[in-house]
Amino acid sequence: MRKPDVPIAHLPDDPELRAWLYRPSSIRKLWIGAGVVLALTVIAQFGVHVHEHFIIDGWYGFSAIYGFISCVAMVLFAKVLGYMLKRPEDYYDQIRIADAAEDDDV
Amino acid sequence: MFELAFPPAFILIVGALLIALARPGMRPVIVLLAPIATVLAIWQLPDGVLMTAPFLGYQIELVEASGLRRLFGTIFALMALVGGLFGLKQAKWYELAAGYAYAAGAIGVSFAGDLITLFLFWEFMAIFSTVVVWCGATAAAKRAGIRYALMHLVGGIILKIGIEGTMVHTGSIEIEALALTSFDSWMVLIGVLINAAAPPFCAWLADAYPEGSPFGTVFLSAFTTKTSVLALMLLFPGESVLIWVGMYMVFYGIIWALLENDIRRILAYSIVNQVGFMVVGVGIGTEMALNGVAAHAFAHIIYKGLLLMSAGAVIYQTGLRKCTDLGGLYQSMPITAACGIIGALAISSFPFTSGFISKSLISQSAADAHLVWVWYGLTAASAGVFLHAGIKFPWYVFFQKDSGLRPKDPPWNMRAAMILFAAVCIILGCFPQLLYQYLPYTVDYEPYTAAHLVTQFQLLLFSGLAFFVMLPMMKRTLTVSLDYDWFYRVMMIRVARVLMAVWNQFVDLVADVWGKTGGPVAERMRSLHNPGGLLAQTWPTGSMTVWVVVILVAVVVMAQR
SS3 content of chain A, % helix, strand, coil (to 5): 70, 5, 25
Residues of chain B with pLDDT under 50: 1
Is B409 in contact with B336 (CB distance < 8 Å)?
yes
Tell me if the bond preceding B520 is cis, omega within 30° of 0: no
- Per DSSP, helices labelled H in B171-286 are 183-195, 203-208, 216-220, 223-235, 241-259, 263-284
Residues of B numbered 194-253 whose beta carbons fall under 8 angstroms of chain A's beta carbons: which are they? 251
Is B435 in contact with B358 (CB distance < 8 Å)?
yes
Question: Is residue A106 located within the same domain as residue A59?
Answer: yes
ipTM given for this complex: 0.91
Question: Is residue A57 located within the same domain as residue A99?
Answer: yes
What is the amino acid identity at position B437? Q
**Which positions in chain A touch B325 (Cβ < 8 Å)?**
2
Is B359 in contact with B296 (CB distance < 8 Å)?
yes
What is the amino acid identity at position B397? V
Which range of residues forms the domain containing residue A89? 53-106
Question: Is residue A16 located within the same domain as residue A31?
Answer: yes
What's residue B2's pLDDT? 58
Question: Is residue A94 located within the same domain as residue A59?
Answer: yes
Question: Is residue A42 located within the same domain as residue A8?
Answer: yes
What percent of chain A shows pLDDT beyond 70? 99
Question: Is residue A70 located within the same domain as residue A31?
Answer: no
Which of A14, A31, A48 lies at the terminal end of a domain, its last residue?
Answer: A48
What's residue B194's pLDDT? 96
CB-nearest to A2 from B319, B450, B460 is B319
Minimal C-alpha gap between B387 and chain A (Å) = 7
pLDDT digits (tens, 9 = 90+) for A87-98: 999 999 998 888
Task: Give the predicted TM-score (pTM) of the model.
Answer: 0.90
Question: Is residue A35 located within the same domain as residue A63?
Answer: no
* CA–CA distance, B195 with B246 (Å, rounded to integer): 13
DSSP B48: E
What's residue B1's pLDDT? 47
Question: Is residue A39 located within the same domain as residue A3?
Answer: yes
What is the tally of structural domains in chain A? 2
CA dihedral B44, B303, B126, B84 (to 10 degrees): 70
pLDDT digits (tens, 9 = 90+) for B139-191: 999 999 999 999 999 999 999 999 999 999 998 899 999 989 999 999 999 99
Which of A48, A63, A79 lies at the terminal end of a domain, its last residue?
Answer: A48
Question: Is residue A44 located within the same domain as residue A60?
Answer: no
Which residue from A minimizes the CA distance to B257? A78
CB-based contacts of B88, cutoff 8 Å, min separation 6: B28, B31, B32, B413
CA distances, B242 to each of B232, B237, B245, B277, B453 (Å): 9, 9, 5, 10, 29
- Per DSSP, helices labelled H in B403-491 are 412-430, 433-436, 450-469, 485-486
**Which positions in chain A touch B367 (Cβ < 8 Å)?**
53-54
**Which positions in chain B touch A34 (Cβ < 8 Å)?**
464-465, 468
Question: Is residue A57 located within the same domain as residue A105?
Answer: yes
Question: Is residue A98 located within the same domain as residue A61?
Answer: yes
pLDDT digits (tens, 9 = 90+) for B382-404: 999 999 999 999 999 999 888 88
Question: Is residue A37 located within the same domain as residue A70?
Answer: no
DSSP helix/strand/coil, B307: helix
What b-and-e string marks burial along B226-252, b requiring 16 or more CB atoms within 10 Å of the CB? bbbbbbbbbbbbebeebbebbbbbbbb
Cα B207 versus chain centre, distance: 11
